[in-house]
Amino acid sequence: MIAQEIHETLKGTFGDAIFEAKVDGVLDPWIRVAPDRVRDISLFLRDDGRMLFDSLMLLTGMDYTKGRLGVVYHLYSMKWNHRIVLKTEVTVDQPHVQSTEAIWKTANWQEREAFDMIGVVFDGHPDLRRILMPDDWEGYPLRKDFQVPEFYNGMKVPY
């Protein structure tokens, strides 16, 4: 399926939860979806016979600045050899996105990383802990406004 058809099918199934899409003039066509419906949409994309997106290639946490965060899902179907990008946006005050861990197990660690680095909270994740940074780290390092702390556990941070 081409991105246009995927967008129309999703629109027909989930209606309001599917926002705009950009399918022309970009290298990777993308569809923006509602953060609180990601789970249903992902399950549909994985299991519907026309979609069969069996692999989540990459899950990225994004800081779009001005108080907006995002999650980007790069999906690929090994069966139909088609791909699509899902995007979802949340605010810094309410950074809640549904977890897709139960649909693609690979999301387990990738969501943990997005939580660790950007601070997106994945509702329904079974084990949402920091993964790369120390457990007692404060702040989210990949946010654009992140300031390196002067001290960490009483030790001066050089550099």
Partner 1 sequence: MDVTLQKEGAVADVDAGRRPATVPGLGRALRAEEMVINMGPQHPSTHGVLRLELIVDGEIVVDAIPHIGYLHRCFEKHAESMNNYQQVIPYVDRLDYVAAMSNEFGYVVAMEKLLKIQVPERVEYIRVIMAEFSRIVSHLIALGTYGIDMGAYTPFLYCMRDREHVLDIFEETCGARLLYNYMWVGGLSHDVKPNFQDKTRDFCKYFRPKIAELNELLSYNKIFKERTAGVGVLPPEVAINYGASGPVLRGSGVKWDLRKNDPYSIYNRFAFDIPVGMGIKGRVGDSWDRYMVRVHEMEQSVNIIEQAVEQLPAGDVQSAIPKRIRPEPGEVYVRTETPKGELGFYIVSDGTASPYRVKVRPPCFVNLSTVPAICRGSMIADVVAILGSIDIVLGEVDR
Ranges within 77-106 binding partner 1 (CB under 8 A): 78, 81, 85, 102-106
Q: Looking at residue 73, what DSSP letter applies?
A: E
Of the candidates 6, 47, 35, the one whose C-alpha atom is nearest the C-alpha of residue 23 is 6
Q: Judge whether 108 and 131 are in contact, CB under 8 Å.
A: no
**Residue count at the site for partner 1 (CB under 8 A)?**
38
CA contacts within 13 A on the Cβ side of 137: 20
Q: Is 54 in the site for partner 1 (CB under 8 A)?
A: yes
When asked if residue 134 is in the footprint of partner 1 (CB under 8 A), the reply is: yes
Distance (Å, rounded) from C-alpha 103 to C-alpha 51? 14
Phi, psi of 115 (to 5 degrees): -65, -45
Span near partner 1 by CB under 8 A; candidates 55-63, 91-99, 149-157: 55-63
Q: Is 31 in the site for partner 1 (CB under 8 A)?
A: no
d(CA 154, CA 136): 12
Q: How far is the CB of 2 from partner 1 (least distance, A)?
A: 16
Query: What is the rounded CA–CA span in Å between residue 7 and residue 10?
Result: 5
Q: Does 157 bind partner 1 (CB under 8 A)?
A: no
Applying CB under 8 A, which of residues 3, 108, 119, 128 lies at the interface with partner 1?
Answer: 108
* CA dist., res. 121 & res. 149, Å (int): 22
Least distance in Å: CB of 131 to partner 1? 6
Which residue of 91, 96, 132, 152 would you call a contact of partner 1, by CB under 8 A?
A: 132
Instruction: Note the residues at the interface with partner 1 (CB under 8 A).
Output: 13, 26-28, 39-40, 43-44, 47-48, 54-58, 60, 62, 72, 74, 78, 81, 85, 102-106, 108-110, 117, 130-134, 141-142
